[in-house]
């Protein structure tokens, strides 16, 4: 069963600069470590159990799933859902029509030398970044996710992730089949779009398509293709509104009240 958003992926060209910038925005950013595939990360964990992964490359890897997105500008490139039944949910997404691979193992070595291990199933082809990838831990999850969840900007968790798609009918068909969660019709005048909202545990996933063609979402699809568009983060600080994209390394993040 899907239990919620595990984490969001923000790809950055300069991890050290991104870590400093997010710290200046009031986030507590914790060193994550290195993956054997040429990436390394820092992490921003929230009280709702989710986190943001800032990920960079310490060596070139054009075959990596986020390499091309980084060359196009980076920012928010993917999202991961947590499951307590990885094989079952992988089959459910596949049966619903999503091209998703069988689970594979991955690891990361933290700066203190602790090796984290997990397995995940990755959406492929045109489903990448629109359908989620799924994760389950082999080492304890509390070792993978930082324990530091208090932030100077008051952020306590993820509200909603909005995902741009050029085939809303397909997404609105496969997501409820895969998860058993019904969708709710939504519109967004700001982006010139309409779509469907689904819940993943406490988090909202909003799939949007231009309606009518034109507007900010259509421009995004033309530049980046179907992919995550933006995120709202819940804060108790009393402040709301979008964060400066020059400081978020291109990721569209907005604060909303609790």
Query: Do the domain assignments include residue 71?
Result: yes
Residues 187 and 75 in one domain: no
Query: Do the domain assignments include residue 150?
Result: no
Residues 137 and 247 in one domain: no
User: Last residue of a domain, which of 116, 144, 172?
Assistant: 144
Nearest to 162 by CA among 220, 239, 93: 220
The two beta strands, 253-257 and 241-242, are: antiparallel
Residues 80 and 111 in one domain: yes
State both tokens at 233. 């983060």
Residues 205 and 170 in one domain: yes
Nearest to 115 by CA among 34, 55, 192: 34
Residue pair 41/164 in contact (Cβ under 8 Å)? The answer is: no
Phi, psi at residue 144, to the nearest 5°? -80, -35
Give the CATH number, domain containing residue 40: 3.10.180.10
User: Last residue of a domain, which of 99, 120, 144?
Assistant: 144
pLDDT (0 to 100) of residue 212: 82
- Pairwise CA distance, residues 32 & 105, whole Å: 18
Domain tally for the chain? 2
Consecutive 10-residue runs of the chain (258 residues): their mean pLDDT? 97 98 98 97 98 98 95 96 97 98 97 98 95 97 98 98 96 96 94 96 97 88 95 94 97 96
Nearest to 222 by CA among 181, 170, 164: 164
For the entire predicted model, the pTM comes to 0.97
Residues 16 and 73 in one domain: yes
Residues 119 and 192 in one domain: no
Residues 180 and 251 in one domain: yes
Residues 160 and 134 in one domain: no
pLDDT (0 to 100) of residue 139: 98
Q: What are the pLDDT digits (tens) for 178-219?
A: 999 999 999 999 999 999 999 999 999 999 999 887 889 999
State both tokens at 116. 């984290």
Residues 6 and 134 in one domain: yes
Residues 139 and 60 in one domain: yes
Query: Do the domain assignments include residue 51?
Result: yes
Query: Do the domain assignments include residue 111?
Result: yes
Residues in a beta bridge with 110: none
pLDDT (0 to 100) of residue 150: 98
Residues 179 and 131 in one domain: no
User: Last residue of a domain, which of 144, 176, 202?
Assistant: 144
Domain of 116 in residue numbering reads as 2-144
Q: What are the pLDDT digits (tens) for 95-114?
A: 999 999 999 999 999 999 99
* Residue written as token pair 């949007």: 208
Residues 169 and 132 in one domain: no
| Interior angle at CA 198, CA 194 and CA 202, nearest 5 | 130
pLDDT (0 to 100) of residue 258: 83
Query: Do the domain assignments include residue 149?
Result: no
């Amino acid at each position: 069963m899907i239990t919620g958003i595990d984490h969001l992926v923000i790809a950055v060209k300069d991890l050290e600069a991104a870590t400093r910038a997010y710290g200046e925005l009031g986030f507590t950013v914790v060193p994550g470590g290195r993956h054997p595939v040429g990436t390394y990360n820092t992490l921003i964990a929230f009280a709702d159990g989710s986190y943001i992964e800032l990920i960079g490359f310490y060596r070139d890897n054009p075959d990596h799933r986020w390499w091309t997105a980084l060359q196009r500008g980076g920012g928010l490139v993917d999202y991961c859902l947590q499951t307590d039944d990885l094989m079952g949910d992988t089959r459910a997404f596949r049966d619903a029509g999503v091209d998703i691979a069988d689970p594979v193992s991955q690891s990361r070595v933290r700066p203190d030398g602790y090796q984290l291990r997990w397995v995940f199933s990755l959406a492929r082809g045109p489903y990448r970044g629109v359908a989620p990838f799924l994760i389950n831990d082999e080492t304890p999850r509390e070792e993978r996710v930082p324990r530091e969840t208090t932030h100077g900007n008051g952020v306590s968790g993820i509200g909603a992730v909005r995902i741009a798609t050029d085939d809303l009918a397909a997404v609105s068909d496969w997501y409820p089949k895969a998860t058993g969660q019904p969708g709710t019709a939504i519109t967004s005048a700001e982006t010139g779009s309409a779509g469907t909202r689904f819940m993943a545990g406490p988090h909202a996933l909003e799939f949007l398509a231009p309606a009518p063609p034109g507007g900010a979402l259509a421009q995004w699809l033309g530049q980046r293709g179907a992919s995550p568009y933006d995120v709202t983060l819940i804060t108790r600080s009393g402040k709301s509104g979008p964060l400066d994209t020059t400081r978020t390394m291109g990721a569209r993040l907005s604060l909303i009240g609790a």
